[in-house]
Amino acid sequence: MATAPECTADLYPTRGCTEVSIPRQDPVLWSTPGIAGPIQASDLLGFERNGFLTVNQLLTMEEVVRYRTELDRLLYDPALRTDERVIIEPKSLDIRSVFEVHKISEVFAELVRDPRVLDRARQILGSEVYVHQSRVNVKPGFGSSGFYWHSDFETWHAEDGLPRMRTVSLSIALTENHDTNGGLMIMPGSHHTFVGCAGVTPKDNYKKSLQMQDAGTPSNEALTKLVERHGVKLFTGPAGSGTWFDCNCMHGSSDNITPYPRSNVFIVFNSVENAVVEPFAAPAPRPDFIGSRGPFEPIRSSEKGL
């Protein structure tokens, strides 16, 4: 693993005394748009501009059923209830997230190796990739809480030591995303600006932040400016659709007070050329199951598909 941040220039200062907004210092697209792969050149350019790319029917309905069945199995597994990788809703005590799902479940592991997924991640990041984080998020309805506005990169940089913006997330809907059940909201184009947040990272911050984030959330003034410039897009769509989004998109989601559950599987791919160092703004790195500390071996494709 590379050494302390003092040996690695910090291009993205955050968690200091004041909030700062600076232009992104890294490319969004790390390959050339003409490169061979499942994403068309025009879609790659759209990703570069907006910070996201939707793939309708990334999974077939049959596959969605298979993943949903596997998710239910995990949610009812008594052994997982006490597993540190499982995050519980503060109010209802329902399961909110299961981390490292690609290591817990062989079924979800297949998804990471699937060429429809892996080749798109490689295409965006222009290199071999590994998984920095994986999780399923479950919003069962009737009160499960949302995620406040944040940039994932801000947290991964501050608390996990991710040096550069060469990381992309994939969220696959396992249930239909209506416009009312707490779907993902992104400010299109916000990934071109880095908001370094004010405030020190408390020790073991992740124990609280995964239920409700505080450190690493921008001020109302910064969010207002971003919304005025970029607007907000809500992602709706059937189960099986996938949304790729850049690590620095300003995003969040509302509570789900409808009866309709919203579950998604979330995989974060990082370039093998962007392995983590020591955290840039936290007393210690978060545990491996939240942000991989290695090995940073390239994922091998399953080639044949699912």
Residue ranges that bind ligand 6CS, judged by CB under 6 A:
133, 147, 150, 152, 155, 209-210, 213, 290
Binding partner selected for residue 213 from Fe ion, ligand 6CS, none, CB under the kind-specific 5 to 8 Å limit: ligand 6CS
**Strand 193-196 to strand 20-23: parallel, antiparallel, or no bridges (unpaired)?**
antiparallel
262 in helix, strand or coil?
strand
Which of Fe ion, ligand 6CS, none interacts with 169 (beta carbon under 5 to 8 A by kind)?
none
Which residues, listed in sequence order, are joined to residue 283 by a DSSP beta bridge?
none
Question: Among residues 31, 58, 249, which one has the least CA distance to residue 122?
Answer: 31
Residue 193 or 209 having the CB closest to ligand 6CS: 209
Residue 64 or residue 271: which is nearer to ligand 6CS going by CB? 271
Looking at beta carbons only, is 150 or 230 nearer to ligand 6CS? Answer: 150
Q: Closest approach of Cβ 184 to Fe ion, in Å?
A: 9
State the binding partner of 258 from Fe ion, ligand 6CS, none, CB within 5 to 8 A by kind.
none
Residue closer to ligand 6CS (CB basis): 120 or 150: 150
Cβ 115 to ligand 6CS, closest distance in Å?
26
Handedness of CA 144, 150, 153, 159 (dihedral sign): negative
- Contact partners, residue 27, CB within 8 Å, separation at least 6: none
CB of 155 to ligand 6CS, least distance (A): 4
- DSSP strands (E only) in 157-261: 167-173, 184-186, 193-196, 233-234, 242-246, 250-253
- Residue with Cβ nearer ligand 6CS (104 or 290): 290
DSSP tag of 290 = T
Rule CB under 5 A: which residues touch Fe ion? 152
Decide if 64 contacts 111 (C-beta within 8 A): no
Shortest spacing between CB 225 and ligand 6CS, in angstroms: 21
